[in-house]
């Protein structure tokens, strides 16, 4: 699971018939709550504009990664600047005879930390060169990306775009079997 992929896929998709998942601040809050575990603690006001801007940057980076094209320099600068904020450091906590190592976010500002942990996931996803491959869904009407584990994985979802493609193929074949009646 990549929270960055999920984040990029919040855009509206005519193929999957879904609306923009970050359209209102309530939508954004819902999305953040659903990803709280991956994004870490966050309790400040939601950086709505910064999140929407970040999504545009992420999709530009994803598009370049898929097409093996060089990204715009401003995209790289933007993501790396946010990624830097994700730095954590260990703190020695020594209280009442108990010694503990506590990992602390590099920035006290939780607003930055939220954007930073998203950026960290984006960097990991784009730089991934292992078994998983970032791809654009093959459906022409779909705006979604996927992380493919095999070369045969080409749809954002087997039950969504994959199933629609199968059904369309079936109808095309069925139509071809119908012999036209000549008059």
Strand spans (E) along 61-170? 88-95, 98-105, 133-136, 145-148
Stretch that binds Zn ion, among 38-46, 97-105, 134-142, 164-172 (CB under 5 A): 134-142
DSSP tag of 141:
T
DSSP tag of 18:
B
- Site membership for Zn ion, residue 10 (CB under 5 A): no
- Site membership for Zn ion, residue 139 (CB under 5 A): yes
Stretch that binds Zn ion, among 51-59, 108-116, 119-127, 129-137 (CB under 5 A): 129-137
- Site membership for Zn ion, residue 137 (CB under 5 A): yes
11: left (phi over 0), alpha (psi -120 to 50) or beta: beta
**Which of 16, 22, 82, 120 is in the footprint of Zn ion by CB under 5 A?**
16
- Site membership for Zn ion, residue 156 (CB under 5 A): yes
CB of 137 to Zn ion, least distance (A): 3
State whether residue 79 is helix, strand or coil. Answer: helix
- Alpha carbon distances (Å) from 179 to 168, 182, 183: 19, 9, 13
- Site membership for Zn ion, residue 59 (CB under 5 A): no
- Site membership for Zn ion, residue 134 (CB under 5 A): no
**Which of 11, 15, 46, 71 is in the footprint of Zn ion by CB under 5 A?**
15
The gap between the terminal CA atoms of the chain, to the nearest Å, is 58
- C-beta separation of 40 from 117 below 8 A: yes
Of 110, 95, 136, the closest CA to residue 44 belongs to 110
Toward Zn ion, which CB reaches closer, 14 or 44?
A: 14
- Site membership for Zn ion, residue 5 (CB under 5 A): no
Q: Cα 115–117–119 angle (5° rounding)? A: 70
CB of 38 to Zn ion, least distance (A): 21
- Site membership for Zn ion, residue 162 (CB under 5 A): no
Contacts with Zn ion by CB under 5 A lie at 13, 15-16, 137, 139, 142, 144, 156, 161
């Amino acid at each position: 699971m990549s929270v960055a992929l999920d984040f990029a896929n919040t855009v509206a998709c005519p193929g999957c018939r879904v609306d923009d998942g970050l359209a209102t601040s309530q939508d954004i809050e819902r999305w953040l709550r659903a990803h709280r575990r991956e994004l870490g603690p966050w309790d400040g006001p939601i950086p709505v504009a910064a999140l929407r801007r970040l999504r545009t940057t992420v999709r530009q980076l994803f598009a370049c990664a898929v097409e093996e094209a060089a990204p715009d320099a401003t995209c790289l600068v933007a993501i790396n600047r946010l990624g830097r904020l994700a730095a954590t450091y260990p703190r020695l906590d020594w209280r009442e005879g108990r010694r503990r190592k506590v990992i602390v976010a590099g920035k006290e500002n939780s607003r930055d930390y939220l954007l930073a942990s998203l950026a960290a996931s984006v960097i990991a996803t784009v730089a991934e060169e292992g078994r998983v491959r970032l791809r654009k869904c093959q459906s022409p009407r779909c705006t979604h990306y996927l992380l493919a584990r095999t070369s045969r994985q080409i749809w954002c979802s087997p039950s969504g775009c994959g199933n629609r493609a199968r059904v369309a193929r079936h109808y095309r074949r069925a139509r071809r079997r119908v012999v036209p009646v000549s008059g």
